[in-house]
Amino acid sequence: GIQVEQSPPDLILQEGANSTLRCNFSDSVNNLQWFHQNPWGQLINLFYIPSGTKQNGRLSATTVATERYSLLYISSSQTTDSGVYFCAVNTNAGKSTFGDGTTLTVKP
């Protein structure tokens, strides 16, 4: 099956810093999503981004499907950005494969 690798596994930032999270996948995908799992365990949809670039406030994402990777950018990080960021790829039959996530800690 498809392999999904996220990097870095852990990231510690000071409030106000910028960061880039990466998601590599081993095969062609139909679509890709980024999620934020907050400290209470809730999975929050960030981006549905099969290709191209999208922006939502301080967050933006870029997927280059031909090169099999996606990037999530967080600018001017806040403590509320802390949590785990997952990417999930969808190949066929609607099924998704998740990466192991990047744990982000933003310190005040």
Partner 1 sequence: DAGITQSPRYKITETGRQVTLMCHQTWSHSYMFWYRQDLGHGLRLIYYSAAADITDKGEVPDGYVVSRSKTENFPLTLESATRSQTSVYFCAFRTSGGAGEQFFGPGTRLTVL
Determine which residue in the list 14, 39, 41, 108 makes contact with partner 1, applying CB under 8 A: 41
- The nearer residue to partner 1, 17 or 65, going by C-beta atoms, is 65
CA–CA dist 48, 64 (Å, integer) = 13
Q: Which amino acid makes up residue 30?
A: N
In the complex with partner 1, which residue's Cβ is closer, 18 or 42? 42
Q: How many CB atoms lie within 10 A of CB 13?
A: 18
- Binding of partner 1 by 39 (CB under 8 A): no
Closest CA to 50 of 89, 2, 93: 89
Interface segment toward partner 1; rule CB under 8 A; list 17-25, 42-50, 60-68, 73-81: 42-50
The CA angle 74-19-38, to the nearest 5 degrees, is 55
Q: Considering the rule CB under 8 A, would residue 107 count as an interface residue with partner 1?
A: no
Where do contacts with partner 1 occur on this chain (CB under 8 A)? 1, 30-31, 33, 35, 41-43, 45, 48, 86, 88, 90, 92-101
